[in-house]
Amino acid sequence: MKLSVATVTWNSASEITEQLVSVSLNCARMDFEQIIVDNASADNTVDLIKEKFPRVLIIANKNNLGFGRAYNQAVKIATGEYFLYLNPDMKILSPLAPLVEYLDKNPDVGIVGAKLVNANGSLNLSAMPRRFPTVKDVILMFLKIPHLFPKVLDRYLYHDKNFNAPQAQEVDSVRGAFMLVRRELVEKLGWAFDPRYFLWWEDVDLCREAKRLGYKMVYHPGAECVDKIGQSFSRRRLLWKQWQFFKSAVKYFWKWRKQKTIIGIVGGISSGKDVAAEYISKKLSIPVFQISQPLKDIAQKMGIDINRKNLVELGTKIAKERGEEFLAKESLNKVKTKTAIITGMRQLEQINYLRKNTNFVLLAIESKPEIRFQRALDRKKNGEAATLEEFVKNEQFENSGYHSQRLFDCMKLADYTIKNDEGFEDFFVKIDNFCKERKL
């Protein structure tokens, strides 16, 4: 399946038919599916879709779960290579193939937005891309200051760009009413939209997450779509809408406040992960924290019963005996500096925790098995810690059990992968490029 078109409805019976028909017409030459998640509509939205569009997949919620959570339900059943998040009051005017082909050709692009227009075909200025907002921008919007001084939001509104131009343009964020999203990005995040937002700001947040992971956002005028802007929510009272906007804005700025920057490094034995950690540490003058190997495995060999209550205490003890620094989820406050490196990761829980609580980037170091084997052999001759037995065990990912499989799973979540196959001189150049691209 090439494309999954997902829509969240709430009392959308008057708009959804036109939207669904426009999708079918403009995806006619593409392998696609349509998914509707209805948030407990009081009108006949669900019955209408079932009657007129029997091939559309429907999830009918008994309660209104909000915008983001409903889209998260959609992507769980979606099978497409790309996801299109499309509001129910939209009408697609031209084929979507140019945008899909653009994503095919540009793997560094995570999200694409279309040219959104009014019913008369003119550019919809309220639906254009935006720069990432500052607190000042939001206060000005909330107090309606632009009504008195229109130019105060020129930077935020990209008034220095011409969105009527025919070429694609990189931007900070595109409107959530039409977002074409790479599946790979959703899988890395674990959701379509951060579920902390009930309504508003989830689209800006997603674009910021994508940028954090190294993806670009692009405005592409190769497809046009009429955006009627929030027909469902026009039925809500003004005070309710303002309150939802304010709550989500607070959540957004709290989430993206200045946090610790953590560089996580994963890789097998003799892959070069320790060399990478040492090099970045010296280059940026930041400390390295070594997470011990999976404590259950080590504790079992040492005859220690380890559980949640004694995890930190025994983890610290075991790590100390191994000459390492144990960094549990509960002890992230050990990192006193604004930036640090953590190497030796084997736990998905640790990665997920760091993604939520820090500015986190995961670097994976890969190299060919025969190269890693030779390095392990050299280390064995030099009397260093790694043994050939450890190396062989860790190379057999599919059959070597919990430890190696967990390492393999962690490496699949990497935001950036460096192949260490051509000698350390080339390896250091790649690390320099990584630091430059991530602006470390």
Q: What is the pLDDT along the chain (440 residues), one digit of tens a residue?
A: 999 999 999 999 999 999 999 999 999 889 999 999 999 999 999 999 999 999 999 999 999 999 999 999 999 999 999 999 999 999 999 999 999 999 999 999 999 999 999 999 999 999 999 999 999 999 998 888 988 998 999 999 999 999 999 999 999 999 999 999 999 999 989 899 999 999 889 999 999 999 988 899 999 999 999 998 766 666 677 788 888 888 999 999 988 876 678 888 888 766 788 888 889 988 888 888 766 545 555 566 666 665 555 655 666 666 566 555 555 544 555 566 678 888 876 667 777 777 777 788 899 888 776 666 666 666 666 655 445 455 555 544 433 334 467 777 788 888 888 888 766 678 888 888 888 877 77
Phi, psi dihedrals of residue 237, rounded to the nearest 5°? -70, 150
Is CATH 3.40.47.10 the right assignment for the domain spanning 261-291+327-437? no
Chain centroid, CA 125 distance in Å: 27
> What pLDDT, on a 0 to 100 scale, did the predictor assign at position 256?
83
Closest alpha carbon to 295 in 275, 321, 267: 321
Residue 188 and residue 371: Cα distance in Å, rounded?
A: 29
Asked whether the beta carbons of 217 and 91 are under 8 A apart, the reply is: no
User: What kind of fold does domain 3-251 have according to CATH?
Assistant: Spore Coat Polysaccharide Biosynthesis Protein SpsA; Chain A (3.90.550)
> What pLDDT, on a 0 to 100 scale, did the predictor assign at position 78?
98
Give SS3 for 224.
Answer: strand
Question: Between the CA of residue 208 and those of 211, 222, 227, 395, what are the distances in Å?
Answer: 5, 23, 23, 36
What 8-state DSSP symbol labels residue 173? B
> What pLDDT, on a 0 to 100 scale, did the predictor assign at position 440?
78
pTM above 0.75, yes or no: no
> What pLDDT, on a 0 to 100 scale, did the predictor assign at position 271?
77
Please report how many Cα atoms fall inside a 13 Å half-sphere around the Cα of residue 396, on the Cβ side: 8
Angle between helices 369-381 and 388-395 (to 10 degrees): 160
Polymer length in residues for the chain: 440
What 8-state DSSP symbol labels residue 121? S
Residue 279 and residue 109: Cα distance in Å, rounded?
A: 29
In the structure encoding, which two tokens stand for residue 3, read together? 């494309």
Q: Where are the domains of the chain?
A: 3-251, 261-291+327-437
What 8-state DSSP symbol labels residue 143? T
Chain centroid, CA 352 distance in Å: 12
> What pLDDT, on a 0 to 100 scale, did the predictor assign at position 372?
62
Residue 267 and residue 250: Cα distance in Å, rounded?
A: 38
